[in-house]
Structure 1
């Protein structure tokens, strides 16, 4: 069974740091998506997965 967590990143410069931090904690990036809801306002969503502890 897998665990999932979605992280919202507001500034694109923080994406790499967020991925690195999550990988150090045992998470693997599964999906990346972004959405723009106003001019200049973009949110980035990172979906991570890892095997659940037994």
Structure 2
């Protein structure tokens, strides 16, 4: 998805806080963790995961 005006405003609004800032979206993909042999060990809970988006300001 494209950068929305709201997302850009939010990123630019906190850029002066002294830390890096990036846009992020909630994770909707299913993520699997695998063991050393490549077998699926578990499904990762995505509630606390986000996908990094552009822009990223450092």
**TM-score above 0.5, yes or no:** no
TM-score, structure 2 length as denominator?
0.29
Q: Which has the higher strand share?
A: 1
TM-score, structure 1 length as denominator?
0.30
Ranked by relative contact order (alpha carbons within 8 Å, sequence separation 6 or more), the top structure is: 1
Structure with larger Rg: 2
